[in-house]
A = this chain, B = another copy of it.
């Protein structure tokens, strides 16, 4: 690609740009953002070649536009791009939810919607900002492309190739499948971890409770250390799917509550044993996949 434009030059957008540069897959990277400090820092770090605060200028002649700003800004950014979007430019994103992003894109782009190919890289770190960006953040990680019926296979392939140049493994789901899957394995666990820590912290004897919390608690609640603003946005953006998963989980907890009340030792052990076995199988499968992906990369 000759030119790409990255909206949001932090961990996700910055790592995307760095990886493409390292792979020799792009000649010129333009960064667009709300805070000039981040943009200047990204330029200093060699993440971007050009800082722009003018969307109209920035998107001219771009092969690919990547949206990696906080999800809440997606609609506004797409609307600012739409009037200047040229044929031949593809727009993609890196948001953690997809149905809401697609709805915002349909509203902003109208009959240019075919040019928007949504995506979600499954990678992250605890740090944020341009300084956290890594050229190998996506190596061996999944990127889910949730293409639209309007997208051409050729455009989807161009987005896939950019991610593959970053080292990512491409998966494809519909936006609805994506949101249901991540509500289950990511968004609900985050809500549950936040709920537990807030519950404990709100008790009058919280200090004594925290004093005895050990390594199991630390791992269980690690995701409650994530950005509250980001997860508020994700929870609301994927509200319907999250409520669906939360309700299933509440049913499960109420079933288990009954087993405790009735001292139903066998039923409780069956759930624990099924969970332990399923987690073990998952863990083995993940490790095997990671080993194979590393061997393939050598």
Please report A residues at the B interface, Cβ cutoff 8 Å: 122, 124, 142, 144, 171, 177, 181-182, 184-186, 188-203, 206, 208-229, 231-232, 235-236, 239, 242-243, 246-250, 252-254, 256-257, 260-261, 263, 265, 268-269, 271-276, 278-280, 282-283, 285-286
Taking a contact as CB atoms under 8 Å apart, the answer to whether A228 and B273 are in contact is: yes
Taking a contact as CB atoms under 8 Å apart, the answer to whether A271 and B225 are in contact is: no
The main secondary structure of chain A at its interface with chain B is: helix
Q: Which residues of B contact A276 (CB under 8 A)?
A: 194, 197, 224-228
Q: Sorted from nearest, which 3 A-B pairs have the closest CB atoms?
A: A201-B278, A228-B272, A197-B275
Taking a contact as CB atoms under 8 Å apart, the answer to whether A260 and B236 are in contact is: yes
Given contacts A142-B212, A236-B263, A276-B226, A246 and B253 within 8 Å (CB-CB): yes
Taking a contact as CB atoms under 8 Å apart, the answer to whether A222 and B219 are in contact is: yes
Taking a contact as CB atoms under 8 Å apart, the answer to whether B252 and A282 are in contact is: no
Taking a contact as CB atoms under 8 Å apart, the answer to whether A220 and B223 are in contact is: yes
Closest to A190 in B: B216
Question: How far does the Cβ of A209 sit from chain B's closest Cβ, in whole Å?
Answer: 5
Question: How far does the Cβ of A115 sit from chain B's closest Cβ, in whole Å?
Answer: 27
Given contacts A253-B195, A261-B243, A275 and B224 within 8 Å (CB-CB): yes
Q: Taking each of A191, A227, A280, which has the highest tally of chain B beta carbons within 10 Å of its own beta carbon? A: A191
- Expressed in whole angstroms, the Cα–Cα distance for A224 and B189 within the complex equals 13
Given contacts A222-B219, A236-B265, A261-B243, A194 and B228 within 8 Å (CB-CB): no
- Expressed in whole angstroms, the Cα–Cα distance for A256 and B231 within the complex equals 13
Given contacts A142-B212, A185-B209, A260-B242, A194 and B271 within 8 Å (CB-CB): yes
Given contacts A212-B181, A216-B190, A279-B224, A195 and B271 within 8 Å (CB-CB): yes
Question: How far does the Cβ of A84 sit from chain B's closest Cβ, in whole Å?
Answer: 31
Question: How far does the Cβ of A167 sit from chain B's closest Cβ, in whole Å?
Answer: 16
Q: Taking each of A142, A192, A209, A275, which has the highest tally of chain B beta carbons within 10 Å of its own beta carbon? A: A275
Given contacts A223-B219, A250-B253, A285 and B202 within 8 Å (CB-CB): no
Taking a contact as CB atoms under 8 Å apart, the answer to whether B249 and A199 are in contact is: yes
Taking a contact as CB atoms under 8 Å apart, the answer to whether B272 and A199 are in contact is: no
Question: How far does the Cβ of A100 sit from chain B's closest Cβ, in whole Å?
Answer: 12
Among candidates B208, B226, B232, B275, residue contacting A193 with C-beta atoms closer than 8 Å: B275
Q: Which residues of B contact A279 (CB under 8 A)?
A: 197, 221, 224-225
